[in-house]
Amino acid sequence: ILPFVSVNQILLLLLVLTVCAILYNKVHQVPSVLKNETVDLESPEEMEEEIPVVICAAAGRMGAAIAAISSIYSNTEANVLFYIVGLKTTIPHIRKWIENSKLKEIKFKVVEFNPMVLKGKIRQDASRPELLQPLNFVRFYLPLLVQKHEKVIYLDDDIIVQGDIQELFDTKLAPGHAAAFSDDCDLPSTHEMVRSVGMQNTYMGFLDYRKQAIRDLGISPSTCSFNPGVIVANMTEWKHQRITKQLEKWMQRNVEENLYSSTLGGGVATSPMLIVFHGKYSTINPMWHIRHLGWSPDTRYSEHFLQEAKLLHWNGRYKPWDYPSVHTDLWENWFIPDPSGKFKLTRPDS
């Protein structure tokens, strides 16, 4: 009998110890994230701030968007999400180009822009028809295209980024400002370029001051203009101030009164922004928008100055994928050939 009793006692003791161990674990439970290394935590990349960059992919100049995206992606460790905006007919081409090149690693969303939103809002301008392409107006509709971000970068396609896009994203916007731009008078190094090609950098170069509606704005014609090819935008303020509605109002007024479409400047896409944002925008570091590289095929910046620049912009008629143009080597460094062969560079020997 004694051995039988001792076995029972041992089993009872083991049972008591097991129950105690279970209770102890319940009370002093170690968080699962500490004891289980395979718990599905957010990866560091997902915890990083996402930088949304909006860029257009227009027919005939898709190589521009590719080079711009390539330059941004290659010069940053930041978590960039590209919103690539195109028309229905161009979207398959740009998607195929990305997915069949080294850009297949980027994070991107392709967004279709419906040109019907522009119906009745654009006055035809025979002098520069390229400025009337629907995608020139994408910047007016940023909150409709990019909905989950507080802060957004918009870039024209004819740019190259040589710095870390995180720096541009960190641009501080003053309270109540929906956007930041670069002033056209902000960098002494560019003044000689502007003078040499006879380019305007004031409101006089964009708005027709013979028209009463323009004079009624009370904006001095000598006020320095800004270039909306690079924008850092606050979506909350943009929506709160109904910026898109204001821009559309000035587009429609131009259709009726021809307020600016035939002037020297950026046609119907820049002028409404100059009106709506007058006195109500923050400024971007001038080195983050070195422009006018496409204004003349004969006038060049110094190579040293361009190496220091964070962002280069070939605004003007002379684009770096065409001929003639200047500083094409800086652009071509980032260009990735079209796998389909549809987009080709125009060069003197081609």
For residue 91, the one-letter residue type is I
| pLDDT score recorded for residue 290 | 93
Closest by CA position to 127, among listed 318, 262, 292, 296: 262
| pLDDT score recorded for residue 185 | 82
| pLDDT score recorded for residue 125 | 65
| pLDDT score recorded for residue 39 | 33
| pLDDT score recorded for residue 20 | 66
d(CA 229, CA 222): 21
d(CA 180, CA 147): 19
| pLDDT score recorded for residue 178 | 98
Whether the ω angle into residue 297 lies within 30 degrees of 0, i.e. cis, is: no
Chain segment 271-313, per-residue pLDDT in tens:
999 999 999 999 999 999 999 899 889 888 999 999 999 999 9
Closest by CA position to 149, among listed 281, 52, 45, 44: 52
CA 81 vs. chain centroid, Å, equals: 10
Chain segment 19-28, per-residue pLDDT in tens:
666 665 554 5
Copy the structure tokens of residue 199.
């380019």
Could you list the pLDDT tens digit for every one of the 350 residues in the chain? 445 456 677 777 777 777 666 665 554 543 333 323 333 334 444 456 899 999 999 999 999 999 999 999 999 999 999 999 999 999 999 999 999 999 999 999 999 999 999 998 987 765 556 667 899 999 999 999 998 999 999 999 999 999 999 999 999 999 999 999 999 886 666 656 655 555 568 898 889 999 999 999 999 999 999 999 999 999 999 999 999 999 999 999 999 999 985 555 456 789 999 999 999 999 999 999 999 899 889 888 999 999 999 999 999 889 999 999 999 999 999 999 999 999 999 999 86
Q: Given CA atoms 192, 193, 195, 201 in this order, what sign does their dihedral have?
A: negative
| Domains of the chain, start order | 51-333 (3.90.550.10)
Structural contact between residues 214 and 208, judged by C-beta atoms closer than 8 angstroms:
yes
| pLDDT score recorded for residue 286 | 92
Copy the structure tokens of residue 21.
């161990």
Stated pTM of the model: 0.84
